[in-house]
Structure 1
Amino acid sequence: MKTLNVIKYVFAIVGAAMLVGAFALYTNTTSFLERSETAQGTVVELIRSRSSDSTSYFPVVQFRAAGGREIEFQSNSGSNPPSYNRGEQVTVFYEPANPEDAMIDGFFSLWGAALIIGGIGSVFGLIGVGIIAFGVMKSRSKAYLQKNGVQIHASLQGVEQNTSLTVNGRNPFRIVCQWQHPQTRELHVFRSDNLWFDPTDHVDQEKVPVLVDEGNLKKYWVDTSFLPKLAG
Structure 2
Amino acid sequence: MKFPAGDLFIFIFFLIGVLFISIAYYLYYSHQQLVQHGVATKGVVIDMHRMKPREYPMAPSIRYHIRDGCELVFHSSEGRNPPAYEIGDEVTLYYDPAKPENVQLDGDYLMVYVMGGMGAVFLLLSIWSVPESTVAIWKWLFTR
Task: Name the TM-score class by shorter chain.
Answer: 0.7 to 0.9
Structure 2 stretches of 5 or more lacking a match?
Answer: 134-144
TM-score by length of 1: 0.52
Aligned counterparts of 2:17 and 2:59: Cα–Cα separation in 1: 28
The residue number in structure 2 matching 1:8 is 10
Give CA deviations for 1:157-191 in whole Å, capped at 9, x if unaligned. xxxxxxxxxxxxxxxxxxxxxxxxxxxxxxxxxxx
1:7·1:128 contact (CA, 8 Å) conserved in 2?
no
- Amino acid paired to 1:122: A
Aligned counterparts of 1:10 and 1:102: Cα–Cα separation in 2: 34
The residue number in structure 1 matching 2:28 is 26
SS in 2 for 1:125: helix
The residue number in structure 2 matching 1:58 is 59
The residue number in structure 1 matching 2:121 is 123
**Which runs of 4 or more aligned residues in structure 1 lie more than 3 Å from their structure 2 counterparts after TM superposition?**
none
Alignment coverage as a number of residue pairs:
131
The residue number in structure 1 matching 2:19 is 17
**1:6/1:55 Cα in 2 relative to 1: closer, same or farther (>3 Å)?**
farther
Structure 1 stretches of 5 or more lacking a match?
Answer: 137-232
**1:131/1:51 Cα in 2 relative to 1: closer, same or farther (>3 Å)?**
farther
- Amino acid paired to 1:130: W
Aligned counterparts of 2:85 and 2:124: Cα–Cα separation in 1: 35
The residue number in structure 1 matching 2:75 is 74
Q: Which has the higher contact order (CA 8 A, sep 6+)?
A: 2
RMSD, matched Cα: 2.1
Q: Counterparts of 1:197-208 in structure 2 under 5 Å?
A: none
Higher radius of gyration, 1 or 2: 1
- Bigger strand share: 1
Aligned counterparts of 2:81 and 2:71: Cα–Cα separation in 1: 28
- Bigger helix share: 2
Aligned counterparts of 1:40 and 1:132: Cα–Cα separation in 2: 48
Aligned counterparts of 2:95 and 2:42: Cα–Cα separation in 1: 11
TM-score by length of 2: 0.81
Aligned counterparts of 1:78 and 1:7: Cα–Cα separation in 2: 33
